[in-house]
A and B are shown apart, each in its own frame.
Chain A
Amino acid sequence: MSTVQLTERPARSTLFDGLSRYLPISVTVALLVALYLGGVANYPNFGNSQVVAKLFIDNAPLLVIAVGMTFVILSGGIDLSVGSVMAFSTMACAWLTVDAGIAAPVALVLVLAFGTGWGLFIGAVIHRFEVQPFIATLVGLFLFRGLTLQISDTDVSMREIGFFQWGMTHVDFGNVREGGFWLPYLSFVAIAVVIIAFAVLHYTRFGRSVYAVGGSESSALLMGLAVARTKIGVYAVSGFCAALAGVLAAFATKSANPLANVGAELDAIAAVVIGGTLLTGGAGFVLGTLAGVLVWGLLNTLIAFQGNLSSWWARIAMGVLLLAFILLQRVLARSGEKRRA
């Protein structure tokens, strides 16, 4: 199929030719392993398997929005609204169950549907009116932060705690006291999102179209791909993921903070880039995003284990990593161009 060809070789990008397309993700994975081994070598309890499990607990919401962001960035766009949509979704869960008296499962469905609907709407604006994604999603960033603050400018606790307890229900793997570990249900949700995203991106028509549109929109259009559906679809995916991340946060904390997740969109974008996805679109892997999120989580864990370092070192380290990976991508792209010439 011709779409397969386009997926293999994005028109605009000479990066990721042949084996070198796996190089950025290999570097990320190598970095991940190095960070982990460094931690194990230096801190006594780092080898505990719960340390790894904790990465999937603390970073579950970030992982989900980063997966949504991967779709958008692969298609050549960007979504700045995810942090605000996520905070709004958590707040909406609280508001619907506490003030409006709606049953919690119905509230969840409403929130997820709303996130998806918002994504569809902003995607339609971006595609139909050719508004730049940066500006269009900026609307969402301001709008949902404002709406969240209007619902409540203080913390709100969930009602129906019994229902929201579900998310943190433990599943034990082995005996926790003897080298086993446990994961809550919400981590499984996040992992399921990654697996579904992987399957969608690599084995469905929509997924291949995302790569094609990100590689070259005009080529994709000339090939008869459903460009409009794809471009609007990725924002719907991102909106759904942001709403789902908000729901996961509601499960994790059982309360809603109006100023939660400020800047979460930046963490997500950074994780996607460190995961080897090209910000111009067309090339990258959702599993790379998983690795990027884990790098971010591991950096924070290392700093927590060190104890005397402050949390801002994680941000600085993330900036340095971002720089390194961007330069790596440039070098690869340059060498790809040279090979071709």
Chain B
Amino acid sequence: MSSNGNGGRAALTAGLARVRRSAYLKRLMWPLLVLAALIVVNIAVTGFDFILPSVNDGRLGGAFVNILRRSAPLLLIALGMTLVIATKGIDLSVGAVYAIGAALACQMIMESGNQSSLGLVLTAVALALAVTALIGAWNGVMVARFGIQPIVATLIFMIAGRGIAQLITGGQIPTVDGSSPYTRLGRGAILTVPVPIVIAVAVLVLLALLTRRTALGMLLESVGGNPEASRLAGIRSKGITVLAYLVCGLCAGLAGLIGSANLASADANNGGLWIELDAILAVVIGGTSLLGGRFFLLGTTVGVAIIGTLDDTIINVGLSSQWQFTAKALVVFAVALLQSARFRAWILGPFTRGPSAEAPPETDEPKEVAAP
């Protein structure tokens, strides 16, 4: 490659980039179409106010911006989950970790005398993030070091986690003064943009840069594809796996902070309830396969936006909020079937004639070329 000189290398890089972009667009097309359809339905029902942001009290508002703001914790968790799923794992404990992070920070702030002290808030946030990162790392060690199935390893904290959160809060729901700087994490705005959106986008950009501008993303996909082969190829797969779970725990803790700051309280029982399922759903909608080996952070982001918009759409078109579960079930079902090569072959079978009908169904789209 080096003998081709600079021109050759530039062309190669450009070519790779083009392949990546087209693969990316193709993957993103379906989720984006679904999102666009949902937005169109909402606009048809509630008018253009739905999508147009407005500025109230010096920060952006409007229906769609609110959806994004409310979806920020889910986005954070789904991003962490994407990395874990890329390693062929899954993290069921994120909902419980969310509750632990929220409980730790709120309890610590509530118990102190001066809730408006910035130093106190920063300490509480740092403590909560450190603990949740530790839990994530623990999950990673269980998976990578002890070779325990990810579902089982993370089930431990899923079951015990909410108990631990209640232990921290003593079974009460700690509340934080509305004047405390802590609530700005959920309610504040930077340059009119709500803080949760700023944090979530910052994490998205950071993770995207870390995984696509360095070799980290390729290593993650390699570990997910075949951990043993990756190890033999000289990749420290165990370290990479632990790192993915650590980041996932950290993201869940951060999401818990944002969620509890928004409510100014931490409910150990119901905070982040079922958020792990929503996050897995968002990841799957975004085109990341649960089988590991590749991941799409942008797809996950679109998936989160779809789930957030879906909840509002159901209310807007006049259905009761109980339909949210049913609608979600239908979405999961449709996505699961569409991702199944067998199902596509079965449905499309009658429509493909001639030799192409004999061809084996397309099992995998071409693997995305990792960043150089």
Contacts and interface: CB of A to CB of B under 8 A. Distances in A.
B342 A269 contact: no
Interface in B316-345: 320, 322-330, 332-333, 336-337, 339-343
Interface size range of chain A in the complex: 35 or more
B77 interface: no
Contacts of A134: 90, 151, 290
A316 B167 contact: yes
B166 interface: yes
A139 interface: yes
Contacts of A53: none
Q: Is the interface of A mostly helix, strand, loop or mixed?
A: helix
B163 interface: yes
A142 B336 contact: no
A112 interface: no
B336 A315 contact: no
Contact of A312 (B163, B332, B336, B339): B163
A313 B162 CA distance: 10
B152 A130 contact: no
A334 B4 CA distance: 51
B147 A266 contact: no
A315 B337 contact: no
A150 B158 CA distance: 28
A280 interface: yes
Contacts of B333: 139, 143
Contact of A310 (B152, B166, B281, B326): B166
Nearest to A132: B290
Contacts of B155: 266, 269-270, 273, 322
A205 interface: no
Nearest to B344: A129
B324 A146 contact: yes
A143 B322 CA distance: 10
B166 A146 contact: no
Interface in A310-327: 310, 312-316, 318-320, 322-323, 326-327
Contacts, number: 125
Chain B's interface: helix, strand, loop or mixed, by majority?
Answer: helix
- Which of A128, A132, A142, A149 counts the most B-chain CB atoms under 10 A from its CB? A142
A266 B277 contact: no
A312 B162 contact: yes
B88 to A, nearest CB: 12
A161 interface: no
A143 B277 contact: no
A319 B157 contact: yes
A266 B152 contact: no
Interface in B273-292: 273, 277, 280-281, 284, 290
Given A135-B284, A150-B323, A326-B153, A315 B332 contact: no
B163 A323 contact: no
B329 A142 contact: yes
Contacts of A146: 322-329
A312 B166 contact: yes
B146 interface: yes
Interface centre among A130, A131, A314 (most CB of B within 10 A): A131
A129 B337 contact: yes
A322 B322 contact: no
B30 interface: no
Contacts of B44: none
Contact of A130 (B153, B322, B340): B340
A245 interface: no
Nearest to B326: A146
A249 to B, nearest CB: 20
A140 B333 CA distance: 9
Contact of B159 (A147, A150, A262, A315): A315
A287 interface: no
Contact of A135 (B153, B167, B327, B336): B336
Given A132-B290, A142-B328, A142-B332, A153 B159 contact: no
Contact of A319 (B147, B163, B340): B163
A310 B332 CA distance: 37
Question: Which one of B160, B273, B343, B346 has the highest number of Cβ atoms from chain A below 10 Å of its Cβ?
Answer: B160
A225 to B, nearest CB: 21
A138 B320 CA distance: 22
B173 to A, nearest CB: 14
Give the 9 A-B residue pairs with the shortest CB-CB distance, closest first: A319-B160, A146-B325, A315-B163, A146-B326, A143-B329, A142-B329, A312-B163, A149-B322, A316-B163
9 contacts: A125-B337, A128-B346, A135-B290, A139-B329, A266-B155, A273-B152, A279-B149, A279-B151, A316-B164
Interface of A: 78, 125, 128-132, 134-136, 138-143, 145-147, 149-150, 153, 262, 266, 269-270, 273, 279-280, 310, 312-316, 318-320, 322-323, 326-327, 330
Interface of B: 90, 146-149, 151-153, 155-164, 166-167, 171, 273, 277, 280-281, 284, 290, 320, 322-330, 332-333, 336-337, 339-343, 346
